[in-house]
Amino acid sequence: MHSKVENDKFLFQFHSINDVGYQNAWDFQKLLHENLKSVKSKTKNASDSSKVITKSLNHVVFCEHKHVITLGKSGKLNHLNSSVDNLEKEEIEFFKINRGGDITYHGPGQITGYLIFDLEQLYTDVHRFVRDIEEIVIRFLHHFDIKGERLENYTGVWINKGTSYKKICAIGVHLSRWVSMHGFALNIDTDLKYFNHIIPCGINEQGMELTSLSEELGKTMKIEDVQDLLLEKLVEVFDAQRIEE
């Protein structure tokens, strides 16, 4: 049963996937992306009354991946500290993908959010899109009395620790015909030792470290306890409406 649609809202469907291998999530994301582009093409010159169909096909996917390291299109392979053989021994997958950004890790305890959006329904500004994704996480952290910050020349969300900055969320996107894919990776209860296999996001500067929500709060936080709050902040930032499948 579909929700009542508010015509001025940005409409999306939400999907949550747990304990998923990267290839399965990647295939699902590509399917949603291609479908949205296809529907957008067919309805480009349609009447205003039929364009609501296109709006209903935006998607938000929250994944909790099995261990995987992904290398973005601008990433450098020498930012991988381990051989692919060593990764396989530790049951860590490795993929080269088409998102922006460098190298990162996804795994248990982390929310990887994929935003498959027709940005022409919002704005045609990729930099604003990245800033809005950061804003979602900043508002999410504010709920826990944690001040998330943006750093000049670095995407993502950081926490100022006085003598260092700790990154809690990485961001990387890809657009084709203004339809986005990929998104963000937010550390909730992530085992940060897995980042030792890489130079995270290619940043190898002193005082630039990693953290998680659990580490900042000093207690274990579970994805299922915070996922709805994160989705709520996404709805706020994009002035969006979730449509039930």
Domains of the chain by range and CATH?
10-242 (3.30.930.10)
Residue 48 has pLDDT above 60, yes or no: no
pLDDT above 90 as % of the chain: 74
Cβ–Cβ under 8 Å, residues 74 and 191: no
Compute the distance between CA of residue 28 and CA of residue 96 in angstroms, rounded to an integer.
17
Beta-bridge partners for 166:
159, 209
| Contacts made by residues 46-50, CB under 8 angstroms, sequence distance 24+ | none
Residue 49 has pLDDT above 90, yes or no: no
If you average pLDDT over residues 146-153, what whole number do you get? Answer: 95
By annotation, the residues acting in catalysis are 201
Q: Residue 21 has what pLDDT? A: 92
Residue 43 has pLDDT above 80, yes or no: no
More confident residue, 245 or 171: 171
Q: Among the listed ranges 47-61, 103-117, 153-167, 213-227, which one has the minimum average pLDDT value? A: 47-61
If you average pLDDT over residues 23-46, what whole number do you get? Answer: 87
E-strand spans in 3-153?
10-20, 58-65, 68-71, 93-96, 103-106, 110-116, 149-151
Residue 136 has pLDDT above 90, yes or no: yes
Residue 232, judged by CB atoms within 10 A of its CB (0-12, 13-18, 19+), counts as: middle
If you average pLDDT over residues 42-49, what whole number do you get? Answer: 60
Residue 84 has pLDDT above 90, yes or no: no
If you average pLDDT over residues 222-226, what whole number do you get? Answer: 96
